Amino acid sequence: MSEPPQKKAFPLRLDPALHAAIERVAASDLRSVNAQIECLLRESLQRRGIKLTDPVRPKRGRPPKQKEDGA
C-alpha cells in the first residue's frame, strides 16, 4: 500500500478578522481552519478556470481482512 503524498507546509500570516471569519465558516462546515482554507483556494482557482486534480485522501476505516492460505 502506498503512502499519500505529503502536503506542503508553510507559514501564513492572516489578518485576525479574516482568520476569525474562516474559523466560523470552517466550524459550520465541520472542517479545520486548514481544510477550509484549502477548500476556499480550490474553489477560487476553479472559478478562474484552473483545473486541479482531485486531492488524494487517505483511506478511512479498517483495512480489508487478509485471506488466509489453506482456509
- Counting the structural domains of the chain, the total is 1
pTM for the predicted model, two decimal places: 0.69
Domain-embedded: residue 41? yes
Domain-embedded: residue 1? no
Is-contact 59 3, C-beta < 8 A?
A: no
Is-contact 63 70, C-beta < 8 A?
A: no
Q: How far apart are CA 29 and CA 37, in angstroms?
A: 12
Q: And the C-alpha cell for 26?
A: 470552517
The string of pLDDT tens digits covering residues 7-46 is: 889 999 999 999 999 999 999 999 999 999 999 999 999 9
Q: And the C-alpha cell for 27?
A: 466550524
Domain-embedded: residue 22? yes
Range(s) of the domain holding residue 33: 16-47
Domain-embedded: residue 40? yes
Distance of CA 65 to the CA centre of its chain: 27
Helices (H), the chain: 16-28, 33-47
Domain-embedded: residue 60? no
